[in-house]
Structure 1
């Protein structure tokens, strides 16, 4: 398909835009075959072919000059086409082709010989982040993970911690969806639920509160002491392992629960503070 702003582009950019769009059209056809159960065995095979196509484009990507005018991106017109606001009313196939063209362009621009400025790194990171959302909606989670991973790299260069966290979290979610094994998907979703793959450490506080409540109820139900003392033991044991004299009168079942609660507390609190320190100090 011909780009609407083609007449405003330089000959070099227009030629590379045509080449990128041809690859996007052909790759969209491969994706169609994959969805019908033909062609590639899984999405990672498609991703390998995507990288081969990028390398083929790069072989002929020799800009006429090594200098840029201003901080604009070479394929800014393709990223504008893939803007979510522009594609709201577009058909599914057009959205896919437009997003793929922008993804090819972003990979070429990032891997190409032209050095990106700090502003260009930020603009390209934002383009990758938008593309990741498009590709997730297009049921291409492995490709979305690629876009988010590149976004993380560029946000790291620009020292944008919030951008790193957004793309890192979305990359982890996309990789979980793309995981081939049920166990991998289960573990990934569990990690997302508990702590947002480490990017949302305060979610662990809800899990800690749930553990305290469950163990406290268990101790109160199995203990031979008063309910008030059982509740006290259940709350205190999570943060501070109790001595034998403290739990001697609680009963065997309650003592076992208090021991398990102490170990669960040590693990949960350690993980929480490790993730919190990483988040606060960007370790």
Structure 2
């Protein structure tokens, strides 16, 4: 939104907006210096500093009146500025503008003015948008924080889709922010297999891959004389129901071990799938 189209800001809002911008500029400098010192992208250790800057603004955030439109946000102009910024990663001006909006959202969320249902939705959208932009600005821990706040506001309004969408985005951002290669690898694996639990039906693909893989191993290890069709049948049935000794008497010792392993893998995999499915369907 251009300056000409914006409603005139009150002296109070204008003053607090300038204060927020100053804090955001200082905070952006702190982040840049910290990342230069550690030589990486980690920003999780700076979240406490974010809260410190928010608390400094809140000390003087005493609105002259509690009356305002229930479908508007105090710092909408700062959110518009952030939305209008380029998503070029690493630009200091872009970072400062996005951080101004993040600080403003925190002040508005934690301030003395109570948010209406509509304002919760509007602020949740702001946080979600900021999360995406913070990722492009190479601040994944801050993005995870923004997505978490968005999910919280969506939950207040009982917006399940928004809550799940932001929960998934938060999990991905946390994986990007992790220092450990193992943690990042596990996170990406979880994302691929089941979308961090938010997309359980992805596991059906993995279950099919497991059945096919075990079936092929059974075909390769079974004794001569056991037909391929019988091997595929054993591989399919054993995944869901462990076979008895009579069912596997003719396949050979190695194949028996494969079938037993498949049965345990099937129990674990299907249990995880149904647990995630129940969580998805019934919001456990």
Whether these two folds match at TM > 0.5 is yes
Displacement of 1:96 in angstroms is 1.2
For residues 87 and 252 of structure 2, the distance between their equivalents in structure 1, rounded to whole angstroms, comes to 66
For residues 3 and 48 of structure 2, the distance between their equivalents in structure 1, rounded to whole angstroms, comes to 30
Relative to the length of structure 2, the TM-score reads 0.93
Relative to the length of structure 1, the TM-score reads 0.93
The count of aligned residue pairs is 279
Aligned-residue RMSD, C-alpha: 2.0
For structure 1, list consecutive stretches of 5 or more residues without a partner in the other structure. none
2:256 is aligned to 255
Displacement of 1:188 in angstroms is 1.0
Gap change, CA 1:38 and 1:234, over 3 Å in 2: closer
Residues 1:181 and 2:180 are matched in the alignment: yes
Residues 1:66 and 2:59 are matched in the alignment: no
For residues 220 and 70 of structure 1, the distance between their equivalents in structure 2, rounded to whole angstroms, comes to 67
Q: Deviation per CA, 1:156-197: give whole Å up to 9, x if none.
A: 011111111110001001111111222211211111111000
By relative contact order (CA 8 Å, sep 6+), the higher-ranking structure is 2
For residues 36 and 133 of structure 2, the distance between their equivalents in structure 1, rounded to whole angstroms, comes to 20
For residues 41 and 236 of structure 2, the distance between their equivalents in structure 1, rounded to whole angstroms, comes to 52
More displaced 10-residue stretch of structure 1: 272-281 or 42-51: 42-51
State the secondary structure of the residue aligned to 2:124: helix
Q: Deviation per CA, 1:11-56: give whole Å up to 9, x if none.
A: 1111100000001111111122123227999522321111111111
Gap change, CA 1:170 and 1:276, over 3 Å in 2: same
Q: Deviation per CA, 1:231-281: give whole Å up to 9, x if none.
A: 110011111111111011111111111111111111111111111111112
More displaced 10-residue stretch of structure 1: 194-203 or 91-100: 91-100
For structure 2, list consecutive stretches of 5 or more residues without a partner in the other structure. none
For residues 69 and 267 of structure 2, the distance between their equivalents in structure 1, rounded to whole angstroms, comes to 57
State the secondary structure of the residue aligned to 2:67: coil
Residue pair 1:34, 1:42 contacting (<8 A) in 2 also: no
Gap change, CA 1:222 and 1:38, over 3 Å in 2: closer
